[in-house]
Amino acid sequence: MRRVEIGVVVLAVLGLVDAVSPWLLPAPPDAPPFVDAVSLVLGVLTLVLLAVWWARRSRAALWAAVVIRAVSALLAVPAWLSGVGGGLALVLAVAFVVTVIGIVLVAPALGRSRAGRAPASA
């Protein structure tokens, strides 16, 4: 399996975790009421976009999935700042680090394709 495909699988697992988190890891009671809904939407969008990428190798779909995963990871920052419990803080930290790893793995596929590059000048 190529590096990019491994990164896509990592991002897909994170999307799946987001999609099921309202049931497995619900937001704390003092969190805004829309937090679980946002997590669900971001997770489902990630999975749909990665499925499109897998079927068509669409850079636009992969870029959108990366942006959604980055937004999802950054949404953990307010939770850290509000002082969530130890277990949830650890889960959020691990998800953040794994998101960065997934994005680094897919980065080569985000650049221009060889066909789209201008020829090198001599």
List b or e across 89-99, with b for residues whose CB sees 16 or more CB atoms inside 10 angstroms.
eebbeebbebb
Q: What average pLDDT score do residues 39-44 get?
A: 96
Name the average pLDDT for the chain: 88
pLDDT digits (tens, 9 = 90+) for 46-90: 999 999 999 999 999 999 999 999 999 998 888 777 777 777 778
Query: What pLDDT does 122 receive?
Result: 46
pLDDT digits (tens, 9 = 90+) for 26-38: 887 877 889 899 9
Query: 3-state class of 33 per DSSP?
Result: coil
Question: How far is the C-alpha of 49 from the C-alpha of 71, rounded, in Å?
Answer: 15
